Amino acid sequence: MSSFSQRGLFDELFRDISPGYLVRPLHGDPLPSQIKVDIKENPNEFIVEAELAGASKDNIHVRIEGNVVGISADISQIDSQSSEDKLLRSERYYGQVSRSFQLPVDIDQTASKAKYDNGVLTLTLVKSKAKSGQRLTVE
């Protein structure tokens, strides 16, 4: 079986043709399958950079439960066109994306911070000093 889908094969065959010939109306590509993240660690904290282009900071939600971090965002890229314009192709997307991941230690929620700038969410997640597991004495 070929590794190309029918649509992928079609696009591959006609990619060199001038874009003016095969323009067809298209609105809204699908959202990315998941949020792309970079995670760095130093002795006291984790630094997470998450790519969230098209989201406003009011529509980004970060959830921390122990050592599990969840990020979700509503993405909406607004179309602007006048009544005289005819939309030929739009590759912008809208909807909700989310991602969660587990870190090796619990996170101190009160000391952690989040900052959003130029489409990148930066989380500074402070490692918890409290021991999450305790050994029970067997009586």
8-35 pLDDT tens trace? 555 555 555 544 444 443 444 455 668 8
pLDDT confidence bin for 75, thresholds 50/70/90: confident
Domain boundaries, the chain: 29-76+90-128
Mean pLDDT calculated for residue range 1-6: 47
pLDDT top residue among 129 and 45: 45
Distance CA(94)–CA(73), nearest Å, equals: 10
Q: Is the pTM of this model over 0.75?
A: no
| Mean of the per-residue pLDDT values of the chain | 76
The CATH classification number of 29-76+90-128 equals 2.60.40.790
Contact between 53 and 119 under an 8 Å Cβ cutoff? The reply is yes
- Position with higher pLDDT, 40 vs 55: 40
Give residue 113's identity as a one-letter amino acid code: K
CA distances from 97 to 37, 92, 103, 124, 130 (A): 13, 14, 20, 21, 32
User: Given a cut of 60, is residue 68 above it in pLDDT?
Assistant: yes
More confident residue, 92 or 49: 49
